[in-house]
Structure 1
Amino acid sequence: MIRLKSLRVLSAALFVLFPMAAHSEVSTEIYCFRSQESAKSINFELRTYYDSFSKWSGAAVRYSKSKKAISLVYRNTEQEILAEDRPYQFTTTWVEVSEGALTGEYEMVSQGARVYGMTYTNYKTGKKYSFEHDFSMDFSSETGCQW
């Protein structure tokens, strides 16, 4: 009984001394994109993940006609000053990894909270696709973009 009580006191003391020291929350952002080509409608969602404690980031895309997400690996972010009184413009690139192979590349251009463009380049064919951010699309973390 004394041992259990000592254990509780020790646990409480550690909790007070080190409150949530190891706690880290992964933040998630969801973007919904539509193709800009009128001949064929292609829609996908992009989910980005960031863990501030470990400085880890990741991403995945899921096309509207697919149940399976495709993993993306962060490559780099370039920033550019377009005007002194405006937010920086960022160009972020992710590499697509499908079934163990590098199959394409996604490049997103944003400024502040606004996404100005997204392109996908297929490595096999070299074809490039352009997408626009669909601000009006309903989405949730549980269900994703509601096409």
Structure 2
Amino acid sequence: MQPTLSLLLAATLGSAAHAAEVRCLISSDARPPIRLQFTFPEGKKLLGQVRYERGSAAIPVKRLSSTTIDAEPDRPWSFETTWRETTAGGGSYTMLTQGARVYAFSYTGAKGKTTTFLEDLEASGERGCEWRRAG
């Protein structure tokens, strides 16, 4: 019975690993560019995380709202989702998605400064974001 339990546990953990979406993003208005990995759960789960390329640890985020935006006929629905850092004095992230694409992403810090990001498809790897440096 032990091998069966181990296989069941491994299958369950494997499924859990795929229960999150990972997006690699790069700032469009900051120099030098800021790179981050945004991991958010599929479905109704409310907690995700943000990891900055030069950050020391992942920052937990909680989904505050998700609004459906009317779609054009024969197009996937669009969603605007807002996430807030769960750390004291944390900022918020707003993401506009349609289907599998991120069309807009921004971070607004506690002091009100906003940084916009673009999806960085080249950084997407099997284990999350793989940031490569030129030169």
Q: TM-score, normalised by structure 1?
A: 0.72
- Which residue identity does 2:64 align to in structure 1? R
Report if aligned partners of 2:23, 2:124 keep a CA contact under 8 Å in 1. Answer: no
1:29-51 C-alpha deviation (Å, 9 max, x unpaired): 1110000015331000011124x
Picking from 57, 65, 73, the partner of 2:46 is 57
Picking from 94, 97, 104, the partner of 2:91 is 104
The alpha carbon displacement at 1:87 in A equals 1.1
Report if aligned partners of 1:33, 1:131 keep a CA contact under 8 Å in 2. Answer: yes
Cα 1:102/1:75, change in 2 over 3 Å: farther
Q: Partner of 2:129 in structure 1?
A: 145
Aligned 1:1-147 pairs, distance under 5 A: 25-26=15-16, 27-37=19-29, 39-50=31-42, 55-98=44-87, 101-123=88-110, 125-141=111-127, 144-147=128-131
Structure ranking higher on relative contact order (CA contacts 8 Å, 6+ apart): 2
The alpha carbon displacement at 1:73 in A equals 0.6
Please provide the CA RMSD for this pair.
2.5
Cα 1:83/1:138, change in 2 over 3 Å: closer
Q: Partner of 2:5 in structure 1?
A: none
Where in structure 1 are there 5+ consecutive unaligned residues?
1-7, 9-22
SS of the residue corresponding to residue 122 of structure 2 reads coil
The ranges of structure 1 where at least 4 consecutive aligned residues each deviate by more than 4 angstroms after the TM superposition are none
Q: Partner of 2:9 in structure 1?
A: none
The alpha carbon displacement at 1:57 in A equals 3.3
Larger radius of gyration: 1
The alpha carbon displacement at 1:76 in A equals 1.2
Report if aligned partners of 1:81, 1:87 keep a CA contact under 8 Å in 2. Answer: no
Report if aligned partners of 1:95, 1:102 keep a CA contact under 8 Å in 2. Answer: no
